[in-house]
Structure formats: C-alpha cells, structure tokens
Amino acid sequence: GENVEQHPSTLSVQEGDSAVIKCTYSDSASNYFPWYKQELGKRPQLIIDIRSNVGEKKDQRIAVTLNKTAKHFSLHITETQPEDSAVYFCAAAGGGNKLTFGTGTQLKVEL
Amino acid sequence: DSGVTQTPKHLITATGQRVTLRCSPRSGDLSVYWYQQSLDQGLQFLIQYYNGEERAKGNILERFSAQQFPDLHSELNLSSLELGDSALYFCASSYGTPKSDTEAFFGQGTRLTVV
C-alpha cells in the first residue's frame, strides 16, 4: 500500500519568512496530492491540492510542487503570518482509493 | 461547516464497553473515510467505504468494525474499549470515483475518552 513520509515534524520560522514542508510517497499509481491544515482542536481543512498531470500550483501565498519521477511533493508558504501556525498534513491517493496522510508538520510562526 | 456531520461530539465511556460513532457524509459524496487521531499524533487511516462497500482497510483493530448504509451514512463500532482507544475519531467524505480522487471534507470529529 501507499506510504507517505513527511518532513520536518516541527518547523519554526520568523514572521515574513518562507516555510517549506516536504513529502515523499511510495505508490507510483498515486495521482492526487492534497495538503491539509489543522488548527488546534479543529478538523483538517484542505488548503491546496495538485494532480499528477501538473508540476506546480499556486494560490496566493501557498504553492505546491510535484516531482512524479522522484515521487515527492512540497508545500511552500511565503510571507508567513502568525495565523499560519498549525499542523500541516500532506496526503496521497490514487484510483479512488484511500487518502494516506503523512505524519504532520507543526509549523510555528514567531513574531 | 464542511457538510460532514459526526455524532456525538464527545463520548466518555468505561473500559470494556462498546460505542458507535456516526457519520453523515456531504450530500452526493460516495466515499467515507474513518481516521483515528491520538494526542499529538497524525491521522491514522482506519477504513474506507465507497457506495456501501468496503474499499480500503488500514491498521484497524479487530475490535473495531464499520459499515456504510444504503443512505451512505456510516457507523464505526468500537468494542472492548481500552484506555489506549481514547482519541479523536474523524470521518471524511469525498465524491471520489474508482478512477478519480477528489477533495475529502472532514467532520468535526468525535472525541472518545475511555476511563
């Protein structure tokens, strides 16, 4: 089955700096890669996703890149703000099958 | 509001007991996923149903079982509960077809405390 690894587990940045979270996946059949943000005590919410026919996708301060050959994808957050502090999860899925999540990255944006 | 409804929101029960968690997916969504999130842990996949049938299974304990009914709502049954089963249980739903995946929407979760 699919295995998703996520790094780093914790990330601390200064407000205004960029943050990068990286994930690798094992199943070459996976073709859908969403990223979720989970604030303390709340449900995970989708912030951006990418499909395997696209190499990069951007939405304001958030971007995701995908390298199918290397089986890795990354989340980039620019101009970080305190409200970006949360746990971020990457996930991979393919063929209508289960979403497999990474172990999460605790992002802390310091003033 | 994601459109995914989970009940109850909180549940406190004793070891050895059995509980049922309920999930109503978003209107039109065919896939239902169940995840377990222990304190400071990631999202551990338990099981997925698609249009009433089991589609994928994770490391779900034999004491746990689930089903998806004809109206597409799902129930997760946890039996012979142990202290270690205390966690936040999330249900998520997506439209997802056998050939294509779509965004999964999460419910608010059921916080289970076993005492």
Q: Which stretches does DSSP call E strand in chain B?
A: 5-7, 10-13, 19-24, 31-37, 44-50, 53-57, 64-68, 74-78, 87-94, 105-106, 110-114
Measured from the Cβ of residue A15, the count of other Cβ atoms closer than 10 Å reads 13
Q: Show which residues on chain A lie within 8 Å of chain B, measured between beta carbons.
A: 31-32, 34, 36, 42-46, 49, 89, 93-104
Query: Among B46, B21, B27, B29, which Cα is nearest to B109's?
Result: B21
Among the listed residues B36, B68, B34, the one whose alpha carbon sits nearest the alpha carbon of residue B54:
B68
Nearest to B103 among A31, A46, A94 (CB): A46
H-only helix segments in B1-115: none
3-state class (DSSP) for residue A100: strand
d(Cα B52, Cα B46) in Å, to the nearest integer? 16
Task: Express each pLDDT in A4-53 by its tens digit.
Answer: 999 999 999 999 999 999 999 999 889 999 999 999 889 999 999 998 88
- CA gap B42, B27 in Å, rounded: 27
- Structure token pair of residue A89: 């999860």
Question: How far does A78 lie from chain B, in Å, by closest CA?
Answer: 23
Query: How far apart are alpha carbons A58 and A100 in whole angstroms?
Result: 22
Residue B59 CB neighbours (<10 A): 10
Residue B91 is encoded by which pair of tokens? 């249900």
Instruction: Work out the widest C-alpha separation in chain A, in whole angstroms.
Output: 42
Q: Give the three-state DSSP class for B13.
A: strand
Per-residue confidence (pLDDT) for residue A5, from 0 to 100: 96
Q: Which of A42, A46, A96 sits opposite B97 (nearest CB)?
A: A96
Nearest CA in chain A to B43: A101
Residue B54 in contact with partner chain A when CB distance is under 8 A: no
Residues in chain A within 8 Å Cβ distance of B42? 89, 101-104
**Gap from A25 CA to chain B (nearest CA, Å):** 16
Residue pLDDT tens, chain B, 115 long:
889 999 999 999 999 999 999 999 999 999 999 999 988 778 899 999 999 999 889 889 999 999 999 999 999 999 999 999 999 999 999 987 666 777 899 999 999 999 9
CB A71 within 8 A of CB A52: no
